[in-house]
């Protein structure tokens, strides 16, 4: 009986694709790194091969799409006002799709997608970082005497300074109002904003 080498080539191709994606994740110290990407692409490829060879339909392969969502959900988490891990979850989804693509012997398509994904992750990384640096979200806790100042007055001053803000928590104790904000501010204007807080005689104290 002649040995069919095609499935072995597919598994090796899936391994290479997963390793390529995983190296980028590992380099940037992100969740779902080198080993995870390889395991996802290889397992997705293997399930697709078995799906086609055993049943001739896509019943097994369709379950990959469902199952991979649970893995992706495991890398998404909330940190303060931000949700992190969305990109890692998307790459997990993409790795599974690439593995399935190789399992169906669409090698050129899979290679093209790997190149495009790496372009997004590497070439656009610096652009994204530069864009994020333009406006950064920072948390502030501001305190003032309730009888001397009000939240409305404070927020009117924020608006006058063209500052985007989100009030997250308000409390009052012993006549002192404490308000927590998430404030979106350009790094170059942060000193100016904090100088305003220091100069404002109504504000007792603040923490960033």
Q: Which pTM does this prediction carry? A: 0.61
Q: What share of the chain in percent tops pLDDT 90?
A: 28
The answer as to CATH 3.40.190.10 being correct for domain 136-207 is: no
Which tens digit of pLDDT belongs to each residue from 44-89? 999 998 888 776 566 676 778 778 877 877 777 766 556 677 888 8
User: d(Cα 143, Cα 169) in Å, to the nearest integer?
Assistant: 12
What are the residue boundaries of the structural domains of the chain, listed by start? 6-133, 136-207
More confident residue, 83 or 178: 178
Region 22-51 average pLDDT: 88
The per-residue pLDDT of the chain, averaged, comes to 84
pLDDT of residue 64: 82
User: Can you give the three-state secondary structure of the chain, one letter per residue?
Assistant: CCCCCHHHHHHHHHHHHHHHHHHHHHHCCCCCCHHHHHHHHHHHHHHHHHHHHHHCCCHHHHHHHHHHHHHHHCCCEEECCEEECHHHHHHHHHHHHHHHHHHCCCHHHHHHHHHHHHHHHHHHHHHHHHHHHHCEEEEEEEEEECCCCCHHHHHHHHHHCCCEEEEEEEEEECCEEEEEEEEEECHHHHHHHHHHHHHCCCEEEEEC
Residues, the chain, total? 208
Q: For 123-150, what is each residue's pLDDT tens digit?
A: 776 776 666 666 677 888 999 998 888 8
Q: Six-digit token pair at 149?
A: 């100042």
pLDDT tens-digit readout, 163-175:
888 888 898 888 8
């Amino acid at each position: 009986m002649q040995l069919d080498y095609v499935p072995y080539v597919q598994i090796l191709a899936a391994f290479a694709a997963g390793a390529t994606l995983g190296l980028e994740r590992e380099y940037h110290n992100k969740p779902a790194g080198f080993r995870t990407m390889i395991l996802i692409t290889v397992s997705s490829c293997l399930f697709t091969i078995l799906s086609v060879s055993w049943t001739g339909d896509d019943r097994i392969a369709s379950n990959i799409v469902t199952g991979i969502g649970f893995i992706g959900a495991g890398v998404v988490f909330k940190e303060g006002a931000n949700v992190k891990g969305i990109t890692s979850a998307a790459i997990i989804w993409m790795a599974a799709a690439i593995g399935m693509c190789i399992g169906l012997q669409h090698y050129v398509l899979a290679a093209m997608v790997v190149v495009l994904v790496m372009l997004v992750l590497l070439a656009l990384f610096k652009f994204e970082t530069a864009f994020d640096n333009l406006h950064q979200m920072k948390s502030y806790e501001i305190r003032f005497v309730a009888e001397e100042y009000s939240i409305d007055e404070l927020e009117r001053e924020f608006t006058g300074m063209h500052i985007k803000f989100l009030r997250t928590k308000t409390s009052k104790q012993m006549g002192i109002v404490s308000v927590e904000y998430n404030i979106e501010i350009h790094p170059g204007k942060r000193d100016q904003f904090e100088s305003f807080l220091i100069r404002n005689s109504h504000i007792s104290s603040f923490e960033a």
